[in-house]
Structure 1
Amino acid sequence: MLPLWIVSALSYATRAVSSAAGQHDPLVRTKNGTLRGLSLPAFGEELFLGVPFAEPPLGNLRLRHPVPYRSAWDGVRDATSRSVSCAGYAGFDQGLALGEDCLTVDIVRPAGAAAGDGLPVLVWIYGGGFTAGGSADPRYNTSYLVNASVEMGKPIIAVSLNYRVGGWGFLASRETVSAGASNIGLFDQRLALEWIHENIAAFGGDPSRVTIAGESAGAFSVGYHLVSRDGKSGGLFRAAILQSGTALGPALHSVADLDDTYQPIYDNVTRAVGCAGRDDSLQCLRDVPYEVLFRAFEPFVLTPIVDGDFLARLPSESFARGLVADVAILAGSNTDEGTATFFGPRGTLNRDADVRRLLAGMGSGLDDAAVRDLMRLYPDNPSLGCPFGTGPERFAENGRQYKRGAAIVGDEVIHAGRRWTTTYFATRHLGPGGRRRKPVYSYRFDQPPWDGVEPLVATTAPVFATHYAEICFVFAIDPAASRNLSNWIGPYPAYHQLARQMSRAWIAFVHDLDPNGHGTEGMPRWPEYSSCGAGENMVFRVDGNFVEKDDWRAAPLRYWGGIWEALKT
C-alpha cells in the first residue's frame, strides 16, 4: 500500500498531465534546458522531480566517480516523477524502486517562486548506514517543511539528493584506489551540491544560502563535507545540520589497511560474479548484469575510507589542524543512541571480559591502558547504563552487561563527536583579530517513540530515545499521511506539538541561521552554544522542552576525544 502523500502526489500528477495544455505546470530553465514540474495547489507548492545532476552511472560509468550531466535536451523535459533510488539493502530500501540510473535531485519550492527570489535552501542527505536510502523515502518528505516555511513567513526551498550506497558507492580495494574510484557516494553528494550551486537560482533559491543536513550516515556525510578539501567548501553551503552523527566517531579505514579490511570483500565479490583473475577485474564488474552484482554486494556493509582525495586524512586530524569549513552549525544527538539494534551489542556482553574485548577491538585496537580507563569510566552499574535513567533494570535478555555496552557504543559513535564538534565550532577564532565565529546550536532529543518501537532501528526493548527517533518530529509529516513506512509521530496532540516546534526551529535555522524564529509556543529561547565552559543544549520532550548545561556525563565523553586517532576517526 502506498503512503497517502504518494497517492496524493500521483493524483495531482494525473490531473496535471490530463489538463488540456498543461499551461499551469511550472517551468524552469536550468543550465541543461527547460524542466516542467508538478503543481500541488493544495500544498501551495511546485515540485521538480528526478532531475539529473550526473550522467547515468551505467555501463562503463558504473563504479566510477560521477560525471557531470552536461547534456542539453531539446524542448521541455518532464520532471513530474522521481527516478529510481540507488540500489540499497538492509531494510531501508523497503518501498523504494531500485536501480542504477539514480543520480538525481528532487526539488520542492513554494508555488510562484521564481528566479531572483533568493530563498534559502535546505539540502537533505539521507542516512541508512551508507547501505540504503533514497530521496523517494516517504520518511523524508520535505513538502511539509516547505509548506510550514511559507506559513511562518520564512519560505525555503528543499532539495533531496540521491547518492550511491553499498558496494555501488563505497567499494574499496587496491583496484578501486588505483583507478581513482574510492568514496564514490561522497563524490555523488559533492557533484549534486555543485549542480545545486549552479542551478538553484533558476528555481528561486539563493546559492549562497544553502544548508546541508542529514541524519546518521547523512550526518556523517555532512561531517565529511566539513573537513573535505581542507575545509574549503567552495561556497557550496553556509550552514550544516548534523542529527545523530558527525565526522568524529565512526572508524575510517585507510588505503594502507585495505588488505585487512575491504580487500577480502572485493575479492569475494569478484569471485562470486566470475571476475576473479581478470587482468582488469574492476572493468569486469562494470559488465556484470545488474541483478547479479546486486546479489553479490548484498551481504556486505561498506563505508567511506580515508582515500587521500575526498578525505585527505582522519577527520580528527583536520579538526586538530583547523582545516574545517567555516559555517554555522546545528547539531544534536538522541539520549539513548546505543539502543539501536545495529549499535547496541545485544546478546554478547555478560561478563567484564566481554566488555574488554569490545573495547579492545575498537578502531585500530585500543591499548591496555585505554581499555582499563574505559572500564573504569563505564562501570558495571546498570543505573549508569543506556537507556539512561532506567535505574537498576539490566534488560538482561540482551546480556547482563548490555546497558554498559550500549552506553559505550552510543557515546563513541555519536555523543562524544557531537560534543567535540559543537565545542570546536563554538570556540574557534578565524581571521584577523579573532573574527566572530558563525552561530552554533546544540540539542539533545530525549523523547521515546509514542508506542515504544522505532521501525527498522529498535523494535524490541529497550528502545527509549533511540537513534532515528527524532526524524518524524523534524519532518512533521501530517498524521493522515504518516503511517506505514513514514515513521508515524503518533496519535497524541503533545507529540504533534513537539513536531511543530522542532520542524519550525529547523526551518528558522535554515532561513536565519537562528532556530528561535519558529513562532510556536512552549519553547524557551534556544541559546547559542557557549564559547567558554560547557555550552547549552535544547532538550526536546513532549512534556516540555528545556535548556540544560551540556555537561551530561562529562568525564566519559571527554575521554573519547583524547583517543580519536586510535579510534581511526
Structure 2
Amino acid sequence: MSLLKFGIVSLLFQARAAVGAALAAPTIKLDNGVFTGTVASSNTQSFLGIPFALPPIGNLRLNLPVPNAPYNGSFTATAIGLACPQQAIDLPILTGLPSEVVDDVVNSIFGIVFPDSEDCLTINVIKPATATSTSKLPVLAWIFGGGFELGSTEMYDGTALVERSIALGEPIVYVSMNYRVSAFGFMPGKEVRAAGVGNLGLQDQREALRWVQKYITAFGGDPTKVTIWGESAGAISVSLQMLANGGDTEGLFRGGFMQSGSPVPVGPIENGQKYYDAMVEQTGCSGAADTLACLRTVPYAQFKAAQNASPGIFAYQSLVLAWLPREDGVFLTDNPQLLIQQGKVANVPIVTGDCDDEGTLFSLSTVNITTDAQFLTYIKQFWLPEATDAQGAQLNSVYPSDLPDGSPFNTGLLNGLTPQFKRIAAFQGDAVFQAPRRFFQNALSGKQNMWAFLNSRLKAVPLLGSFHGSDILQVYDEVGSELMDSVINFAVNLNPNGHTLPNWPQWTTKTPNMLQLLDGLIATTITQDTYRAAGMQFLANITLEFPI
C-alpha cells in the first residue's frame, strides 16, 4: 500500500475548496470577526488557517505564545496556514530493490517539507454542516508528528473522520493545530531555562487548546468534551500535556489517544546545551551580552540555516534528537518518568499503542554498524555514555544480535540489511516507543481507564515491517477501519469500543490486554502486553537513570 497520498493531501483540500466555492460559503462569528470557510463535503464544513496566537516573530521568536486580541473584521478561512519553520531532512542513502520501498515510505512520511513561515500559529476546524452553537458535540483535537522537527496540519485532512462520525451516529468536531518545531519550538540550554521559554512547541499546543475552550462552541463543539489525539511526536505531546501543571488539565481536555508515543525519557534542558551553543555561534551571536535576545534578531534565513546544520531525525545519532521536549522547570518540572512516578499525571482515560516495528525506519542511518563491538560503541556514544560495562553486557544479553530476535519482529532471518540492523531497530523501537508506553501504563494501572493496541499490519514491507507511522493509514485513509472507529468512539464516549469493533478489554497490570491489528482474514485479536519483558524492563530502568 502506497503512502504517496500524504504528498497530495493539500491538493484534496484545494479540490474541496473549489467545490465549496460553488456552494454557499459558511460563516462563523468569533468575537466581532466573521470567518468565511468552505463546504468540505456534502455533510461537512471547514474553517482553515485561523490564527490562534500572535505571529511568533521579532521579539516573540523564542518566546511564549501570546493569544490574539479579540477578532474584529472579516477573515477568509479557506486554506491551511503555512507550516512552522521546518528542518531540512537528509534521507538515508540505500541501493537496490529495498531502497525503492524505503524511499517511498520515508519520502512520504518524513521527506515532505511543507512551505513554511514564522507566522504559523493557526488552527483548523472541520464540523458537521448541521452543527450549530447549541449542538455541544465532542471535539477531537489532532496534534501531528514529525520528530519535533517538521510537520504540518496540511498533511492531515480530517473530513473523512467527521463524515464517518456522522455515519456512525456519533458526530464530532475535528480540530488540528500548528505548533513550532525544531530550534524555533524546542530550543534547549541554560539560557532558555533562565528566561522560562522552554518547550515552546508544547506551549503552542496548550494555547491552541485554550483557543478551543474559548471558541469551539461557535462551531458546534462542547469545550467540556475535548479529546487530544496524536501520533509519534504528536502522541508524545499528548502524553506531556497530561504531565504539565502537575497533571492539572485546566479543563482543556478529558481524554488522550496516543499512537506511537508516550512520555519519553528525557532529562534537563541543559542536556541540549551544545545545540544552543552551536546556534549562537553559527548565527554570529557569540559576542552578545544576551545571546537569547540576539537570536531573536537574527534574519530568518540565517536562523533557519543554522537550525538545518544540526542533526536531523535521519542523522547518525537518529532518535537521540537535537530538538525535543526536555525538563525546563515550567512546562515540565522534572524528567517525565519521574513525574509519572510522583503521580503528577492527568487522571483521564487514555488509549495508547505502538506499531510492531517502531525502530526500523530510524535505523537506516546506521547501516555501517556491522559488529557487536560497533553496536555497543554506538549505544555508549549516543544513548548511554555514562553506563557501566556491566550495563552494557546486560544490554548485549537482552537485545542480542541474532537476526530472529530483531525487528522487523517475527520475520526470522529475513530483513537483515546488515548483521546489526534488526538489533538496532529492536533497541531503538523499544527504547523510545514500546518501553516508555509500558512504563506509563504500569504506573497508571488502577488509577484510570486504559486501552492499548499493537499495530502489526503491513508486516510484509521489506526491511521495515509494521513500521513507524503505518497505523496513520488506518485513521486518515481507511474509512471504517478499527482505529478510525475507535478514535471516534473514544472522543464521544471515552471508550474505544463500539458496535463496529470487536470487544476491546481494558489494559491493567493484572491483565495487560492489547488489541492487535493483523494482516489477513483474521484482522484482530486480543494479545497480552508481555513480549520482550526483560529487555523493556532493562530499558525502562537504564533510561530512567540516564535520560537523554
Q: Given the two structures, how large is their TM-score scaled by the length of structure 1?
A: 0.84
Query: Partners in 2 of 1:286 and 1:380 — Cα distance?
Result: 47
Relative to structure 1, the CA distance from residue 11 to residue 550 in structure 2 (aligned partners, 3 Å threshold; closer, same or farther) is closer
**1:505 to 2:486 alignment:** yes
CA contact (8 A) 1:346 1:399 kept: no
Letter in 2 for 1:25: A
Equivalent residue, structure 2, for 1:562: 541
CA distance in 2, matches of 1:95, 1:17: 28
The answer on 1:536 being equivalent to 2:540 is no
**2:339 aligned with 1:309, yes or no?**
no
Q: 1:16 to 1:442 in 2, by over 3 A?
A: closer
Aligned to 2:93: none
Which whole-Å deviations, capped at 9, do the CAs of 1:453-493 have from their partners, x for residues lacking one? xxxxxxxx4111011111111212xxxxxxxxxxxxxxxxx
Matched-pair identity in %: 34
Unmatched runs of 5 consecutive residues or more in structure 1: 429-436, 453-460, 477-495
Q: Conserved in 1, the CA contact under 8 Å of 2:31 and 2:70?
A: no
Residue 119 of structure 1 pairs with residue 137 of structure 2: yes
2:163 aligned with 1:147: yes
- The residue number in structure 1 matching 2:502 is 524
Match of 1:355 among 345, 369, 375: 375
- Where does residue 439 of structure 2 map in the other structure? 420
What is the CA distance between 1:513 and its match in structure 2? 1.5
Judge which range, 105-114 or 547-556, deviates more: 547-556
Identify if the C-alpha distance between structure 1 residues 110 and 449 changes in structure 2 by more than 3 Å, giving closer, same or farther: farther
CA-CA distance at 1:4 after TM superposition? 6.1
The aligned residue for residue 458 of structure 1 is: none
Aligned to 1:306, what secondary structure does the other structure show?
A: coil
Equivalent of 2:531 in 547, 552, 560: 552
Task: Quote how far apart the aligned CAs of 1:324 are.
Answer: 0.5
Paired residue secondary structure (2:445)? helix
Paired residue for 1:481? none
CA contact (8 A) 1:394 1:400 kept: no
Instruction: Kindly indicate whether residue 486 of structure 2 is the aligned counterpart of residue 470 of structure 1.
Output: no
User: Deviation of residue 14 (structure 1)?
Assistant: 4.4
What is the letter of the counterpart of residue 165 of structure 2? Answer: S
Change over 3 Å in CA distance of 1:82–1:538 after alignment to 2: same
Q: Per-residue deviation at 1:370?
A: 2.3
Shift of 1:68: 1.0
Partner in structure 1 of residue 279 of structure 2: 269
Alignment-mate amino acid for residue 328 of structure 1: P
Contact 2:87 2:308 in 1 (8 A): yes
Query: Could you say which residue in structure 2 is the equivalent of 1:406?
Result: 425
Give the letter for the 2:261 counterpart: G
In the aligned structure 1, how far is the partner of 2:427 from the partner of 2:277?
Answer: 33
Which residue of structure 1 aligns with residue 112 of structure 2? 94
Q: Which residue of 1 aligns with 2:80?
A: 82
Aligned partner letter, 1:51: I
Within 5 Å, which residues of 2 pair with 1:58-457? 58-74=57-73, 76-91=74-89, 92=110, 94=112, 96-137=114-155, 140-248=156-264, 251-255=265-269, 258=270, 261-300=271-310, 301-340=322-361, 342-343=362-363, 346-361=366-381, 362-363=383-384, 365-393=386-414, 395=416, 398-428=417-447, 437=448, 439-448=449-458, 452=461
Distance 1:514 1:168 in 2: 36
Q: Provide the rounded CA distance (Å) in 1 between the counterparts of 2:58 and 2:459.
A: 44
- Counterpart CA distance in 1 for 2:196 and 2:280 is 18
Aligned to 1:515, which of 490, 496, 499?
A: 496
Q: Is the 8 A contact 2:9 2:154 kept in 1?
A: no
1-structure distance, mates of 2:401, 2:22: 66
Offset of residue 34 of structure 1:
2.8
- TM-score normalised over the length of structure 2: 0.87
Q: CA offsets, 1:15-63, max 9 Å, x none?
A: 65577xxxx3222222463322212343x11111111111111112111
2:14 to 10, 29, 42: 10
1: CA distance between counterparts of 2:141 and 2:132?
A: 18
Does the aligned pair in 2 maintain the 1:26–1:36 contact within 8 Å? yes
More off after superposition, 103-112 vs 5-14: 5-14
Whether the 8 Å contact between 1:365 and 1:566 is mirrored in structure 2 is no
Cα deviation for residue 278 of structure 1 reads 1.6
CA contact 2:326–2:335 (8 Å) conserved in 1: no
Q: Closer, same or farther in 2 for the Cα pair 1:382/1:32, shift >3 Å?
A: farther
Q: Would you say the 8 A contact 1:363–1:566 is kept in 2?
A: no
Instruction: Check the 8 A contact 1:142/1:475 in 2, yes or no.
Output: yes
* C-alpha distance in structure 1 between counterparts of 2:350 and 2:25, whole Å: 36
CA distance in 2, matches of 1:335, 1:58: 41
1:486 — aligned with what? none
Q: Secondary structure at the match of 1:89?
A: coil
- Is the 2:49–2:79 contact (alpha carbons within 8 Å) kept by the matching residues of 1? yes
1:534 to 1:17, Cα distance in 2 relative to 1, 3 A: closer
Change (3 A) 1:409 1:14: closer
Count of paired positions? 510
Aligned-partner SS, 1:136? helix
What is the deviation of 1:405? 2.0
